[in-house]
Structure 1
Amino acid sequence: MKKVMLKIEGMQKNMDGEENTIELFTEGKLYEKGDYIYLIYEETEVSGMEGCTTTVKLSKDKISMKRFGALKSEIIFEKGKRFNTNYHTPYGTFNMEVLTKEIEYSITDAKKGDIRIEYFVNLQGMAESTNKLNIKIM
Structure 2
Amino acid sequence: MTSSHATDVQVQLVTEIREADRNEKMNIFEPGQFYQRGETQVLTFTEHPDEGDPVNTMITIKPSHVSIKRTGGVAMRQVFQPQIETENIYHHTYGDFHMKTVTNEIDFQSLNEGNQGRLFISYQMTLNHEVTQAHRLTLTFKEESKT
TM surpasses 0.5: yes
Q: Quick one: structure 1 residues 38 and 111, their matched pair in 2 at CA, closer, same or farther if it must change by over 3 Å?
A: farther
Provide the identity percentage. Answer: 20
Highest Rg: 1 or 2?
2
- State how many pairs are aligned: 136
Per-residue displacement from partner, 1:28-84 (whole Å, max 9, x unpaired)?
Answer: 1001123210000111226x7751100000000211000001110001101101001
In the alignment, structure 2 segments of 5+ residues that lack a partner are: 1-5, 143-147
Check if 1:4 corresponds to 2:16: no
Separation (CA, whole Å) in 2 of partners of 1:38 and 1:19: 29
Per-residue displacement from partner, 1:106-128 (whole Å, max 9, x unpaired)?
Answer: 11326631100001110112322
Look up the match of 1:34.
38
Q: CA RMSD of the aligned region, Å?
A: 1.7
Look up the match of 1:132.
136
Alignment of 1:10-49 (within 5 A): 10-14=15-19, 16-45=20-49
User: Which residue identity lines up with residue 129 of structure 1 in the other structure?
Assistant: Q
Please point out which of 114, 121, 125 is paired with 1:117: 121
Separation (CA, whole Å) in 1 of partners of 2:73 and 2:15: 20
Check if 1:101 corresponds to 2:133: no
SS in 2 for 1:45: coil
Please point out which of 70, 79, 82 is paired with 2:82: 79
Contact 1:43/1:49 (CA < 8 Å) preserved in 2? no
Report the TM-score, using the length of structure 2 for normalisation.
0.86
CA positional deviation for 1:134: 0.3
In the alignment, structure 1 segments of 5+ residues that lack a partner are: none
Separation (CA, whole Å) in 2 of partners of 1:49 and 1:5: 23
